[in-house]
Amino acid sequence: MKWLVWDFDGTLAYRVGEWPAWTQALLEVLDRQTPGHGVDPELLSPFLRTGFPWHSPEAHHPHLASADAWWGALEPSFADAFREAGADEVSAEKLAKAVRRAYLHPDRWRLYEDALPALEGLSSRGWRHLLLTNHVPELEEIVRHLGLDRHLHGIYNSAETGYEKPHPEAFRAVLEDLPDSNAVWIIGDNADADVAGAKAAGIPAILVRRRREGVEPYCENLTGIAEIVRG
């Protein structure tokens, strides 16, 4: 069997908004809870650059195996951001707990226009599809909402496995489940987590959407995947 192992966010799908996804989610909480707040998004962003499990991919995090534990570990960073934006202690903690619902809101998620045509076309050529992604515990709900589940044979999510890409165990878990495969490719938009991590595990990889000098093969979109994996 032939397998294509896809990243999710930034590769097949994205969260809509003017700002990066997590900053946008915090802004949406403020918009709902304190209309007319006038908070500069740049005040929030620094607090979202650390503290997430994927910011320490070298560490295994089995203690975050439940969804409540996973989100609870992030709430202090969210609360710090809201305090920086002017919220008092009690309000900041309340706002932090509201981020989960805001981030997961199904109407905020979209598939890239080329995602389904690429998956369907590659399936017709005998490829099967998996997800391997660093994401939130409720990823499967988002996947179902987008109608992506019918194209997938499995999901490997760091929030469940406890291993973030590019940790070798994230890739090893996939390979161990594909003992009879005759071809496996990783496809993702992150040169470090997806491409470098895959190559370190001995898996060929394709960088998409976000070019980095010297990283090949690269596709601006998903329409070129078929040609690369055929070769």
Copy the structure tokens of residue 160.
Answer: 């469940």
All structural domains of the chain, each given as residue ranges with its CATH number in brackets, are 2-14+109-230 (3.40.50.1000), 16-107 (1.20.120)
Asked which of 35-39, 72-76, 114-118 is least confident by mean pLDDT, the reply is 35-39
User: For the segment 156-210, what is each residue's pLDDT rounded down to a tens digit?
Assistant: 999 999 999 999 999 999 999 997 888 999 999 999 999 999 999 999 999 999 9
The model's confidence at residue 17, banded by pLDDT at 50, 70 and 90, is very high
Q: Taking Cα atoms as reference points, which of 28, 40, 149, 181 lies closest to residue 99?
A: 28
Distance CA 63, CA 34 (A): 34
Q: Is the pLDDT of residue 85 over 80?
A: yes
The predicted structure's pLDDT at residue 180: 81
What's the rounded mean pLDDT across residues 25-29? 98
Q: What is the mean pLDDT of residues 114-134?
A: 97
Q: Average pLDDT in the 10-38 region?
A: 96
Residue 48 clears pLDDT 80, i.e. is over it: yes
Tell me what pLDDT residue 95 has: 98
pLDDT at 231 over 80: no
Q: What is the pLDDT of residue 146?
A: 98
Region 57-66 average pLDDT = 96
pLDDT value at position 11?
Answer: 98
Instruction: Render 43-108 in DSSP notation, one character per residue.
Output: HHGGGGSSSSGGGSTTS--GGG-SHHHHHHHHHHHHHHHHHHTT--HHHHHHHHHHHHHHHH-GGG
pTM over 0.85: yes
88, pLDDT greater than 80: yes
Query: How does pLDDT run across 139-154, given as a tens digit for each residue?
Result: 999 999 999 999 999 9
Q: So what's the pLDDT on residue 167?
A: 98
How high is the mean pLDDT of the chain? 96
d(CA 156, CA 199): 18
Cα–Cα distance for residue pair 13/101, rounded to 1 Å:
19
Residue 20 has what pLDDT?
96
User: Measured between alpha carbons, how far is 99 from 122 in angstroms, rounded to an integer?
Assistant: 36
Q: What percentage of the chain has pLDDT greater than the value 90?
A: 96
Contact 12, 122 (CB under 8 A): no
What pLDDT is stored for residue 135 in this prediction?
98
